[in-house]
Chains A and B, each alone.
Chain A
Amino acid sequence: MCLAVPAKIIEKNDMMATVDVEGIQRKISLMLLPDAKKGDFVLMHAGFAIQTIDEQEANYTAQLLKEVAQNDNA
């Protein structure tokens, strides 16, 4: 039930944002994430942004998986 999905902020208007979720636009509240900026990827849950997605970390994870895949003779 606390399923949360990534969304990209395409417009910010005070405490509301228009986000893109896999091509669909919707309006969500930024009350719990007031510092989110246009262009940020955020985690969205039941009409609210609840955290920004750290793209560097997301890449780091991809990187790590790549390394794992390369050394998999361990």
Chain B
Amino acid sequence: MIMPEECKKAAEFFLQNIDRLITKPTRFMEVCGTHTVSIFRSGIRQLLPEKVDLVSGPGCPVCVTPNDYMDTAIAYAKNSNVIITTFGDMLKVPGTSTSLYEARAEGADIRIVYSPLDALQLAINNPAKKIIFLAVGFETTAPLTAATIQTAQKKQINNFFILSAHKWTYTALDALLSDPTIKVDGFLLPGHVCVITGEAPFSFVSERYAKPAVIAGFEALDILRAVYMLALQVQNGQAKIENAYKRVVRTEGNPIAQNAISSVFSNTSANWRGFGGIENSGMTVNAAYAQYDALHSIPVTKENSRENPACRCGDVLKGNINPTQCPLFKKICTPEHPAGACMVSIEGTCHAWYKYGQGRYHYGR
């Protein structure tokens, strides 16, 4: 057990050394909403020396889900034979002209589930309905959807479908790094994504772009330690992948979960809010399991999608601006009435700034 006194000492050690090792303005990016929240909650941004800036990247699957997907989900929700099942985060995400939350108020049957298996159970209990699970999430969540589809097949449940927005996190990092206008000196890699993928998919960060990257856990000390390890690499002119979350991240990840993904999904180009289409970044249900793909099995007509031109989510997700630089922030866009996705999820960058930031944080470049 780690005692609070030791924690404090360790935190001081990391902070002092980060200050010593980093000699010029440096930006590290975290690409996981859980990191974002933990960083804000623990006040790490304020504790770090001003020359070290932590910025949030495309780390929340809710935030990067584009209007196009929401509009399709809402169109399905209006079908009276359909029950939509979703993680709670998706409810208030605005689509082009409405949200699932509003659709539900107008009578659509939309249920919040904790697990895709709950959605499957709902299908078993409601054989006359079509149950569509909104399969949103990164590599952490995709194998769960895959395993649920395999279970549906085994149990011959034919009224269970998914609308996939599953995505590969590393493809967005690649898109970011290939953009020369974006300045990032190192990455905190998402621990729970790496639990599944292992280190290999992220090795390009150091190999092709010569940036240091550290797989980080979610406690304040985990994050400080990871920043310290990044600082050491910067100081030594190194660029490698290190694992500071060995208690759950194995080098090879979870091969059974990787296998579940590759059995059920194939790669496809997918739209990311703020990034547009990224080749091979999305997971679509493959031909062998096509009957479980809502888009394949249930016809739908949705409205023409467009993004809210005033919302700056795209720039927020790339770390180009912080949320307070968006003209809608706190004025029009709030967690109760979000104008953009980044304000919806508790892990969204705008939401975190709204809740914890209140403009108190220095933001240097």
Contact = CB atoms under 8 A, between A and B. Distances in A.
Interface of A: 1-4, 29, 31-34, 43, 45-48, 50-55, 57-58, 60-62, 65-66, 68-69, 71-72, 74
Contacts of B34: 2-3
Contacts of A29: 117, 147
B140 interface: yes
A1 B59 CA distance: 10
Nearest to B20: A74
B243 to A, nearest CB: 10
Contacts of B151: 31
Contacts of A1: 33, 60-62, 87, 89, 136-137, 141, 345, 347
A65 B10 CA distance: 6
B289 interface: no
A65 B137 CA distance: 33
Interface residues of B, number: 52
A68 B246 contact: no
B144 A53 contact: no
B247 A50 contact: no
Given A2-B192, A32-B257, A45 B140 contact: yes
B116 interface: yes
A48 B147 contact: yes
B195 A50 contact: yes
Contacts of A54: 246-248
Interface stretch (B1-9, B102-110, B201-209, B301-309): B1-9
Contacts of B10: 65, 68-69, 72
A74 B246 contact: no
Please indicate which of the listed interface residues B6, B17, B32 has the most CB atoms of chain A within 10 Å of its own CB: B6
Interface string B1-30: 110011101101110110000000000000
13 contacts: A1-B33, A1-B61, A1-B89, A2-B137, A2-B190, A47-B117, A50-B140, A50-B254, A51-B195, A52-B248, A66-B2, A68-B9, A72-B10
Nearest to B37: A3
Interface string B27-55: 00000111000000000000000000000
B133 to A, nearest CB: 11
A48 B115 contact: yes
B114 interface: yes
Contacts of B193: 2
A1 B134 CA distance: 13
A48 to B, nearest CB: 5
B221 interface: yes
B138 interface: yes
Given A1-B62, A57-B246, A65-B2, A45 B192 contact: yes
A57 B245 CA distance: 9
B247 A61 contact: yes
B247 A57 contact: yes
Contacts of B345: 1
A65 B147 contact: no
